[in-house]
Structure 1
Amino acid sequence: MMSKTLSRRERKKRETRQRLMEAALRLFREQGYDATTVEQIAESADVAKGTFFNYFETKEAILPALAEWRLGQLKEALMPERGAPASPVARIKLALRLVAADPLSDPAMARRLFAAGMCHRDIRPGRALLNLLAEQVRQAQAAGEIRADLDPIYLGGVIRALFFQQVMMWHHGYRPAPLPELLDAAVDLLLDGIAGPKWRQSP
């Protein structure tokens, strides 16, 4: 009987935590991070304000948990059995598009997320994204889409850096095309290379 009670209790705790995260993400998307209060998150999740602090120390502390949750959803979205492309390179492009569309990729939110991650070292969204991209690179190498002699962690880091650079440029007004198209083009440019016919002749 005790084990069943504990099981129900743990299930309720997980459900409450999930409701808080869903409410926070919805409010951040609708009215922005700064305008959203803990009281609003708790009210939207249908819990008392004090309940919020049973799960998260501060409003900032919910950000790494949100990122971890969203990355878990991203992993599922990249599964071919869930409808993702068969091509690993196409899945890399899909991953970047999905991350860019997430409200957590807004530059202001991303800065706070980075700061929160520094305080909560058990959750590192940037590292998690790197690992996700590196795994897709490994699969692309196995499929012959990317050279197999290159370090997948290094390439994952390069792709992640290109992603963040493109998103920041977009939010700073560099918009020659829709952001998803620019992200696709950045991956294609990385794969095709930028060298001209005489680059090896340079000193």
Structure 2
Amino acid sequence: MSVSNLKPTQGTGEHPGKISQRERKKAKTRAAIQQEALRLFRDQGYEATTIEQIAEAAEVSASTVFRYFATKEDLVVSDDETFFVQAFRAQPPELPPVQAMRRALYSTLEGLSATEMSTQRDRDILMVTVPELWSASLGNVKQTLRTLAELVAERTGAGPSDAPVRALSGAIFGIMMDVMLRWANQPELDPAAELDRLLACLEDGFQEPGA
């Protein structure tokens, strides 16, 4: 699951919107293009879908599609991290990084509509079932790890390359990947609740079952 692609909930006190109107409009256009692309990929297959078909479905030009997504693969693997970063940074400064991450992830996932959740799951399925997309997602994986390290570093006062920061951000990313892979195969899984449950285990420290 690529949480950096999630948008913030509206009207909550946890991370009030501070995104400009222009940024919101661009994000809305980008999301609409990606949503239509994922729908077409699901309905008729990734290889069989063309950029022209995506543009027509999203009611934009092909050049607009390429303005937001440089390649066809980017329609699946590309992320806009603005909203997720904002959600995390809006958490109370006294919260430790894992607790802040739990709140940010849970509130953003809970704020998604059923359609948006379905779109997110379609994206996850494509990323783990289409070989070229799995390969293309490596850049996104690296960027997400960098972002997590930077956010943890900001909250702890350490450096992004410090070993404790890298260990914690890597553990958080591993949990996110675990939930993404299982959600792709288990549509009944509640990703918000599962992420919160696993991050709570990380926050509390590992304990053997029954201990």
Q: Same fold (TM over 0.5)?
A: yes
1:141 & 1:110 partners in 2: Cα distance? 32
Contact 1:23 1:45 (C-alpha < 8 Å) held by counterparts: yes
Identical amino acids, percent of aligned pairs: 26
1:140 & 1:51 partners in 2: Cα distance? 37
1:14 aligns to what?
Answer: none
1:131 & 1:178 partners in 2: Cα distance? 26
CA offsets, 1:4-47, max 9 Å, x none?
xxxxxxxxxxxxx8786333222145x25343542233224544
In the TM superposition, what is the alpha-carbon distance from 1:164 to its structure 2 partner? 1.1
In the TM superposition, what is the alpha-carbon distance from 1:117 to its structure 2 partner? 3.7
2:136 aligns to what?
Answer: 116
1:90 aligns to what?
Answer: 99
In the TM superposition, what is the alpha-carbon distance from 1:161 to its structure 2 partner? 0.8
2:36 aligns to what?
Answer: 27
Aligned ranges 1:35-184 → 2 under 5 Å:
35=43, 37-49=50-62, 52=65, 58-64=71-77, 66-67=78-79, 69=80, 71-80=81-90, 84-86=91-93, 87=95, 88-97=97-106, 98=108, 103-104=119-120, 106-111=123-128, 113-117=133-137, 124-142=139-157, 151-173=164-186, 178-184=190-196
Secondary structure (helix, strand or coil) at the match of 2:41 reads coil
Contact 2:37 2:54 (C-alpha < 8 Å) held by counterparts: no
1:76 & 1:54 partners in 2: Cα distance? 24
In the TM superposition, what is the alpha-carbon distance from 1:183 to its structure 2 partner? 0.8
In the TM superposition, what is the alpha-carbon distance from 1:152 to its structure 2 partner? 0.6
Alignment size in residue pairs: 166
In the TM superposition, what is the alpha-carbon distance from 1:51 to its structure 2 partner? 6.1
| Superposition TM-score, scaled by structure 1 size | 0.59
Gaps of 5+ in 2: 1-25, 44-48
What one-letter code is carried by the residue in structure 1 that aligns with 2:125?
Answer: A
In the TM superposition, what is the alpha-carbon distance from 1:131 to its structure 2 partner? 2.0
Gaps of 5+ in 1: 1-16, 119-123, 144-148
1:25 to 1:182, Cα distance in 2 relative to 1, 3 A: same
Secondary structure (helix, strand or coil) at the match of 2:141 reads helix
Contact 1:23 1:44 (C-alpha < 8 Å) held by counterparts: no
Task: Report which structure shows greater RCO (CA 8 Å, sep ≥6).
Answer: 2
Secondary structure (helix, strand or coil) at the match of 2:206 reads coil
In the TM superposition, what is the alpha-carbon distance from 1:90 to its structure 2 partner? 3.1
Contact 2:69 2:75 (C-alpha < 8 Å) held by counterparts: yes
